[in-house]
Amino acid sequence: MIKQWRVRDVMTRDVVTVAPETGYHQIADLLVRHSISAVPVVDPEGRVLGLVSEADLLAKLEYSDREPYHPLAVRRLGAGRGRAAGENAAGLMSYPVVTISADASVTGAARLIDAAGVKRLPVVDERRHLLGIVSRRDLVRLYARGDEEILAAVLDVLTGLRVDPADLHVRVDDGVVSLAGRVDRRSTAAMAVGFVRSTPGVVDVIDELTYRYDDTVGPGGTDDTVGTFGTGQTGGGRSRTFPDIVV
């Protein structure tokens, strides 16, 4: 069975949190001491209320000496001044917070982080209880896997597709996977390339797979086809599509 990478597989579970009444200096100390850039604000039941980041703390310094005189400037600085005046987590935090489920795919997490323009997502259950946190670094870490680990994952993917790795020549060089050999059907070659490309850590796929039977041309197909998936010719090109980071 092919492994489906979920947020729960990569998230940080031991999360530093603060209560709404936690003071500015204590929050700053926690960020520095734990080398983190944000802390979730939770209620006594562990439900996420907001998030205090370094940017929220810096608002106090940024607006400390600014005196807007024009009405437009006053409105523009309003939100920042509100956080600058905050003395505890309740007054400093950003809310509402974009969150994600532990069962979401890591691809979904990456897309949500990008769409929301944030650096991290609190991971919550259906009642918004904090389970962990997933950051851009957690997702990028998937691409820090060594070639041997990637090769093992690729072989597992092929086995899950009922493709015998012994029938293929599989090589990994600095995250680039080369697939060569012959499979039974063109659709099988398509799935193999697609799933390998989306394996965490795979940067690119060089497709040199051939197939015996083209099952994509309708009833009857074409027997003993010698071709590479996607081209119908011997030999293949190197894919330049950036992969999804989920298998």
User: pLDDT tens for residues 25-34?
Assistant: 999 999 999 9
Quickly state the pLDDT bin for 94 (edges 50, 70, 90): very high
69 contact partners, CB below 8 Å, separation of at least 6:
none
Model confidence, pTM: 0.69
Query: Is the per-residue pLDDT at 70 higher than 70?
Result: no
How far CA 13 is from CA of 52, 169, 196, in Å, comes to 18, 39, 28
Tokens of 181: 């050999």
Q: How far apart are CA 166 and CA 145, in angstroms?
A: 23
Amino acid at position 11, single letter: M
124 contact partners, CB below 8 Å, separation of at least 6:
47, 48, 99, 100, 101, 130, 131
What pLDDT sits at residue 67?
56
Tens-digit pLDDT profile for residues 102-142: 999 998 999 999 999 999 999 999 999 999 999 999 999 88
Residue from 12, 2, 53 nearest 141 by CA: 12
Q: Lowest-confidence range among 11-15, 70-74, 117-121, 170-174?
A: 70-74
Tens-digit pLDDT profile for residues 149-199: 999 999 999 999 999 988 999 999 999 999 999 999 999 999 999 999 989
Amino acid at position 37, single letter: S
Answer yes or no: are the C-beta atoms of 177 and 157 closer than 8 Å. Answer: no
Q: Mean pLDDT in the chain?
A: 83
Beta strand spans in 98-243 (E): 100-101, 120-124, 130-135, 168-173, 176-185, 204-214, 222-223
What pLDDT sits at residue 246?
35
